[in-house]
């Protein structure tokens, strides 16, 4: 068992050095985003949602015994404690409860780095053990699925397997996930277009967007979801709208625009859009020639985006916008639409 002791070395480590080490460790891009949000308290825990004015119970859905912030969810929840103790690292996550989450996280990362270097498998297992319970929590909140240690361990092992697969592959098409990075202003492997503002003024609302398009009919569907969150009565915070498009890219752009308009109507002032369209982000960054069919939509995205104190559009993988994808696909065939505000 690893005992946590206070470490001034750990507390005073420049965070940029930690990110540089983590980003170079070969972990999955989705874990980089997850860790970035986790260490900046940007995950949509119930406490964070409550602070944004969203009407939702702030108590943990897994144990029902504490307010769901990152400390509780990943360390102090009875379920989290069992997951850590049953894993190969045998960590007692409830020890040293006065440590902040980032201090606790950095202690173990630095310890594993000293023991096994930047590519230590213990670092990977530690991150996977954070990722697994986050998936468990989301599956319980959104789908009503049960939470068991066996399921958590299966997800942790799956994460380790995905890491091994990614590390051993050399796919040219993954190159866009790692553009040249001259600074640590955002996580490596996370391609984005900043439309307005600076990101050091507080955590933004995260909106997932996606478009669906039927080539033969031209029917399209656009979906957007506030970080995959649901109201207490089960309604989605977001919306979907049918329409017509000339291309899949046009549908993606329309979904982005509708998501931003919805955020504005919801009185959100800081927003990050997640899309799985690399091409759309390229266009918003000015890195590609504009197609005349989406020229107006791209211009409108920038116009609406500039009304926020922070607005950026980030390229992520399909899995991270799955909820928006399902809405877009459904509305493109049913031609039904809805808007649900907080």
Q: What is the 3-state secondary structure (H, E, C) of 279-340?
A: HHHHHHHCCCCCCCCCHHHHHHHHHHHCCCCEEEEEECCHHHHHHHHHHHHHHHHHCCCEEE
**Pair (235, 301) in one structural domain:** yes
Residues sharing a CB contact under 8 Å with residue 168, sequence separation 6 or more, in sequence order: none
Pairing of strands 310-315, 192-197: antiparallel
**Pair (144, 220) in one structural domain:** no
Domain end position, chosen among 177, 200, 225:
177
Q: Which helix (H) or strand (E) element contains residue 229? A: strand 219-230
Query: What is the token pair recorded at 188?
Result: 């490596």
pLDDT digits (tens, 9 = 90+) for 246-268: 899 999 999 999 999 999 998 99
CATH number for 310: 3.30.420.10
What pLDDT sits at residue 85?
92
Average pLDDT over residues 49-72: 86
In whole angstroms, what is the distance from residue 91 CA to residue 87 CA? 8
Q: Bigger pLDDT: 146 or 304?
A: 304
**Pair (333, 201) in one structural domain:** yes
**Pair (198, 300) in one structural domain:** yes
Q: Classify residue 169: in a domain, yes or no.
A: yes
* Location of structure tokens 């630095």: 110
**Pair (197, 317) in one structural domain:** yes
Residue 292, pLDDT > 80, answer: no
Q: Classify residue 186: in a domain, yes or no.
A: no
Q: Which helix (H) or strand (E) element contains residue 31? A: helix 29-39
Three-state DSSP state, 196: strand
What pLDDT sits at residue 316?
86
Instruction: Give one DSSP letter per residue of 250-279, joined into a string.
Output: HHHHHHHHHHHHHHHHTT--EEEEEES-HH
**Pair (202, 155) in one structural domain:** no
Please, how many CA atoms are within 13 Å of residue 203, restricted to the half-sphere of its CB? 19
Which of 137-146, 162-171, 179-188, 190-199 has the weakest average pLDDT?
179-188
What pLDDT sits at residue 168?
67
Band of the pLDDT at 291, cuts 50, 70, 90? low
**Pair (272, 314) in one structural domain:** yes
Q: Classify residue 182: in a domain, yes or no.
A: no
Query: What is the token pair recorded at 39?
Result: 């260490």
Answer whether 0.85 is exceeded by the pTM: no
What pLDDT sits at residue 172?
37
Q: Classify residue 142: in a domain, yes or no.
A: yes
Query: Which whole-number Å values give the CA distances from 117 to 2, 24, 194, in the listed order?
Result: 17, 11, 34
What pLDDT sits at residue 227?
78
Q: Which helix (H) or strand (E) element contains residue 114? A: helix 101-116
Query: Is the CB of residue 206 less than 8 Å from the CB of residue 44?
Result: yes
Say what the alpha-carbon torsion angle 74, 236, 330, 241 is, to the nearest 10 degrees: -130
Pairing of strands 205-213, 219-230: antiparallel
Query: What is the token pair recorded at 162?
Result: 């995905």
Residue 311, pLDDT > 70, answer: yes
Residues sharing a CB contact under 8 Å with residue 195, sequence separation 6 or more, in sequence order: 284, 301, 302, 305, 306, 308, 311, 312, 313
Q: Classify residue 168: in a domain, yes or no.
A: yes
Q: What is the extent of the structural domain holding 51?
A: 8-177
Query: Is the CB of residue 315 less than 8 Å from the CB of residue 190?
Result: yes
141: nearest Cα among 237, 204, 231: 231
pLDDT digits (tens, 9 = 90+) for 103-126: 899 899 888 888 888 778 899 999
In whole angstroms, what is the distance from residue 86 CA to residue 153 CA? 8
**Pair (33, 171) in one structural domain:** yes
Q: Bigger pLDDT: 342 or 204?
A: 204
What pLDDT sits at residue 181?
38
Order of strands, sheet of 338-340, starting from the edge strand that comes earlier in the sequence = 192-197, 310-315, 270-275, 205-213, 219-230, 236-244, 338-340
**Pair (143, 240) in one structural domain:** no
Number of CB atoms found within 10 A of residue 117's CB: 11
Q: Classify residue 265: in a domain, yes or no.
A: yes
**Pair (154, 37) in one structural domain:** yes
Domain end position, chosen among 177, 202, 237:
177
Residue 42, pLDDT > 50, answer: yes
Q: Classify residue 1: in a domain, yes or no.
A: no
In whole angstroms, what is the distance from residue 303 CA to residue 317 CA? 26
Q: Among positive and negative, which fits the CA dihedral 192, 195, 198, 203?
A: negative
**Pair (164, 287) in one structural domain:** no
Number of structural domains in the chain: 2
Average pLDDT over residues 48-63: 84
Domain end position, chosen among 177, 212, 236:
177
Backbone angles phi, psi at 256, to 5 degrees: -65, -45
**Pair (158, 231) in one structural domain:** no
Q: Classify residue 221: in a domain, yes or no.
A: yes
Residues sharing a CB contact under 8 Å with residue 140, sequence separation 6 or more, in sequence order: 61, 62, 146, 147
What pLDDT sits at residue 4?
38
């Amino acid at each position: 068992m690893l005992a946590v002791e206070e470490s001034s070395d750990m507390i005073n480590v420049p965070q940029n050095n930690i990110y540089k080490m983590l980003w170079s460790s070969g972990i999955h891009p989705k874990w980089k985003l997850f860790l970035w949000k986790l260490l900046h308290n940007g995950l949509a825990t119930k406490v964070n949602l409550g602070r944004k004015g969203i009407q939702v119970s702030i108590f943990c859905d897994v144990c029902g015994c504490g307010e769901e912030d990152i400390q509780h969810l990943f360390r102090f929840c009875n379920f989290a404690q069992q997951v850590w103790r049953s894993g190969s690292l045998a960590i007692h996550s409830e020890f040293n409860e006065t440590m902040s989450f980032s201090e606790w996280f950095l202690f173990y990362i630095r310890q594993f780095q000293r023991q096994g270097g930047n590519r230590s498998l213990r670092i990977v297992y530690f991150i996977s053990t954070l990722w697994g319970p986050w998936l468990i929590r989301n599956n319980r909140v959104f789908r009503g699925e049960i939470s068991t240690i066996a399921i958590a361990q299966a997800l942790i092992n799956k994460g380790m397997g995905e890491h091994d697969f990614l590390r051993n592959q050399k796919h040219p098409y993954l190159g866009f996930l790692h553009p040249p990075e001259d600074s640590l202003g955002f996580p490596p492997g996370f391609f984005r277009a900043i439309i307005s503002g600076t990101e050091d003024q507080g955590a933004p609302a995260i909106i997932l967007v996606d478009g669906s398009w039927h080539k033969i009919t031209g029917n399209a569907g656009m979906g957007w979801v506030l970080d995959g969150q649901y109201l207490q009565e089960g309604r989605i915070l977001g919306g979907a709208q049918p329409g017509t498009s000339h291309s899949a890219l046009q549908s993606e752009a329309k979904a982005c625009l509708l998501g931003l308009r919805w955020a504005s109507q919801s009185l959100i002032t800081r927003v990050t859009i997640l899309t799985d369209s690399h091409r759309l982000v390229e266009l918003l960054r000015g890195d590609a020639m504009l197609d005349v069919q989406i020229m107006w939509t791209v211009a409108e995205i920038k116009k609406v985006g500039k009304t926020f104190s922070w607005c950026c559009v980030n390229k992520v993988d399909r899995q991270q916008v799955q909820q928006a994808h399902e809405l877009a696909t459904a509305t493109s065939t049913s031609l039904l639409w809805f808007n649900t505000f907080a």
